[in-house]
Amino acid sequence: MGTLDEKAKDVMDDGVAHTGRDKDTGAGGLIILFFIIGFAGSMVLGWVVFPKLLYSQKQQPFNFNHALHMEEVDNGCESCHSFREDGSFTGIPKLAQCTDCHEETMGESEDEAIFVEQYVWKEREVPWLSYSRQPDCVFFSHAAHVIGAEMDCITCHGHHGETETTRPYEYNRITSYSRDIWGHNISGIAKNTWDTMKMDDCAQCHKKAGVNRTSSVQTERDACFVCHK
């Protein structure tokens, strides 16, 4: 026989060998094992390692006690986080507002000393890291929600006003935005209204509240540019 026949025989032998291996249940278990290893490994990577890699932390310049301040003021959150005359929201207060009371050190905490010595006396604005700042492409009006729809602060910001310390500021390494926007649960599932602040959350709440605006003629819903400038 020529070489062609020999090749044909080899192929046949291979076929026989395979059939034999398939019958070996030990090898099938190994395949499942590897599937499980791959599956479990990637699940750990996706659910545990990835969030740790994705987010980085920064400490606030010094600790701020919201609970303590809430006791001192008469008008709740709005005492410091107020609206300007033109309806725009001030957000985190500027130094000038703090120095109304904190011209000199009040109390004996270390944080107070840092604040007064490093910022008040040196007339430097405190570089607070805002947990709730939306990406730049998002236009959010506090006035429309707080004054117009009479929503309370807790709906979006949770019980931030009752905290005694400022937790570390976590931010996304890719987008550089605060972790609070996506939410602390990496799955994006929210138990409370304030857990996540993505567009879906806006839409959900608007739907629930029956906000029926039709700024877009085509879609008969709100147009993109209402929020995305």
Partner 1 sequence: MKVDRRSFLSFVIGGAAGTALSPLPWKLMDDSSIWSQMWPWTPVPPDGEVIYEDTTCSLCPGGCGISVRKVDNRAIKIEGKKGHPINDGGICLLGLSGLQLLYGPTRIKSPMKRMGERGEGKWQKISWKEAATILSEKLGEIRNKGEAHTVAAISGAGGGTVPALLQRLLTAYGSPNFMRMPSQSSAEEPVLKGVFDEEGRLGYDLENADYILSFGSGILDGWGSPVRMFRANSQWKDNKVPVIQIETRLSNSAAQSSRWVAINPGTEADLALGIAAVMISKKMVRSGNISGFRGWKRELLAGYPAEKVSETTGVPVDVIVELAKGFGSAKRPLALYGRGKGVTAGSLREISAITALNALSGNINEEGGLWAVSQADYIRWPKVDTDKIASAGLSQPRYDGAGEDSSGLAQSLIHRIAGNINGEEPYQLQALLVAGANPCHDLPDSQGVNAALSKIPFIVSFSSFNDETAAMADLLMPDHVYLEKYEDVPVCAGLVKQVVGLSKPVVSPQFNTHHLGETLITTAKMMGDTIAGAFPWEDYETCLKETLGNKWDSLMETGVWEDSDVNTVAKKVKPAPLDTKIVTAEGDVNSFPLLLVPYDTIRISSSYIGSTPFMVKTVADTIIKGKDGFVEINPQTAEANGLKEGTIATLTTPRGGARVRIHLVHGIQPGVIAMVRGLGHTAYDGYLADKGVNINDLIGPVEDPSSGLDAAWGIRAKLDKA
Nearer to partner 1, 114 or 129 (CB): 129
Selected from 10, 12, 38, 57, the binder of partner 1 by CB under 8 A is: 38
Integer Cα distance of 213 and 144 in angstroms: 13
Nearer to partner 1, 86 or 100 (CB): 86
Please report, as residue ranges, which positions from 79 to 108 form the binding site for partner 1 (by CB under 8 A): 84, 86, 88, 90-91
Q: Is 46 in the site for partner 1 (CB under 8 A)?
A: yes
Integer Cα distance of 157 and 174 in angstroms: 24
Question: Tokens representing 180?
Answer: 């609070």
122's torsion region: left (phi>0), alpha (psi -120 to 50) or beta? alpha
Q: Is 35 in the site for partner 1 (CB under 8 A)?
A: yes
- The label of the residue with tokens 């409370």 reads 192
Q: Residue 187: CB partners within 8 Å, gap ≥ 6? A: none
Q: Name beta bridge partners: 171.
A: 56, 178
Integer Cα distance of 138 and 132 in angstroms: 12
Q: Is 12 in the site for partner 1 (CB under 8 A)?
A: no
Q: Is 42 in the site for partner 1 (CB under 8 A)?
A: yes
Q: Is 144 in the site for partner 1 (CB under 8 A)?
A: no
Q: Is 229 in the site for partner 1 (CB under 8 A)?
A: no
**177, 193 contact by CB (below 8 A):** no
Nearer to partner 1, 171 or 194 (CB): 171
- From the list 65-73, 106-114, 129-137, 201-209, the region that binds partner 1 by CB under 8 A is 129-137
- The CB-of-47 to partner 1 minimum distance in angstroms stands at 5
**199, 206 contact by CB (below 8 A):** no
**180, 131 contact by CB (below 8 A):** yes
Nearer to partner 1, 54 or 114 (CB): 54
Integer Cα distance of 176 and 181 in angstroms: 11
Nearer to partner 1, 186 or 205 (CB): 186
- The CB-of-57 to partner 1 minimum distance in angstroms stands at 17
Q: Is 59 in the site for partner 1 (CB under 8 A)?
A: no
Question: Tokens representing 32?
Answer: 């499942």
Interface with partner 1 by CB under 8 A: which residues?
27, 30-43, 45-47, 50-51, 54, 84, 86, 88, 90-91, 135-137, 172, 174-177, 182, 186-188
